[in-house]
Amino acid sequence: MPQAQDDSAPSKAAHEPRRARIVELPAVLDLKAASPLVAELLACRGDELLVDASRVERLGGQCLQALMSAAITWKADELPLAIVDASQEFVDGLRRFGVALEDLTDQEFTK
């Protein structure tokens, strides 16, 4: 990342050549959470992204599409994006929509 500055996650930057930013998902991903989520994800564009889904208790359709859109966007940008620490509720929620966790995560990145 050419424009990457060591401001938010210095320790990570120190360990990895490419810097990954972390977005922590809120517990309730409903209609109200969709717009902030999109904004938050967009703010991270251009960086590697780790999405922390450990706290998620409920997943709604609009946040799902935000995450899915982020996944294809990052893929198109050829940057890794991964969901980490997915809670069981998050996995179940995805399953309910017919989406697998793996779909949202760049497999190589997590390895």
Partner 1 sequence: MDAMAAIKQTFFQECEEQLAELESGLTAILEGDGDAETVNAVFRAVHSIKGGAGAFSLDDLVRFAHIFETALDHLRAGRLAPSPDLLKVMLRASDALADLVRATRDETNLEPQRFAALAAELRAFDPASMQQTGAAAIVKETDGAADCADDEIVFRPILMDESMFDEMDAPPAAAPRLFRIRFRPKPALYAKANEAALLLREVSNLGECSIVCDSSELPFLPDLDPEGACLTFLITLSTECDESSVREIFEFVEWDCDLDIAEETDEPAGDGVDISALVERLQASVEAERAALEEANARSAAGATPPSARQNFSPAQVEGSDTGDGVGSIGKSDPAKSDPVKIDPGKSDLAAKGDQPGPSIRVDLERVDRLINLVGELVINQAMLAQRVLEEGLARASGVATGLDELEQLTREIQDSVMAIRAQPVKSVFQRMPRLVREVAAMTGKAVRLVTDGENTEVDKTVIERIADPLTHMIRNAIDHGLETPDVRVRAGKAEEGVVHLSALHRSGRIVIEVSDDGAGIDRPRVKAIAADKGLIAPDAALSDDEIDNLIFLPGFSTAAAISDISGRGVGMDVVRRSIQALGGRISIQSRPGRGSTFTMSLPLTLAVLDGMVVTVGGQTLVVPLTAIVETLQPKVADVHEFGGGARVIAIRDQFTPLIDVGRELGYRADNADPLAGVALLVETEGGARNAMLVDAILGQRQVVIKSLEANYQHVPGIAAATILGDGRVALILDVDAIVASSRADSDAHLLAAAG
- Residue ranges that bind partner 1, judged by CB under 8 A: 30-31, 34-35, 37-39, 41-42, 45, 58-62, 64-66, 68-73, 75-76, 91, 93-103
**Least Å from the CB of residue 23 to partner 1:** 12
**Least Å from the CB of residue 15 to partner 1:** 27
Indicate the residue among 18 and 95 with the shorter CB distance to partner 1: 95
Indicate the residue among 13 and 38 with the shorter CB distance to partner 1: 38
HEC string of the chain? CCCCCCCCCHHHHHHCCCCEEEEECCCEECHHHHHHHHHHHHHCCCCEEEEECCCCCEECHHHHHHHHHHHHHHHHCCCCEEEECCCHHHHHHHHHCCCCHHHHCCHHHHC
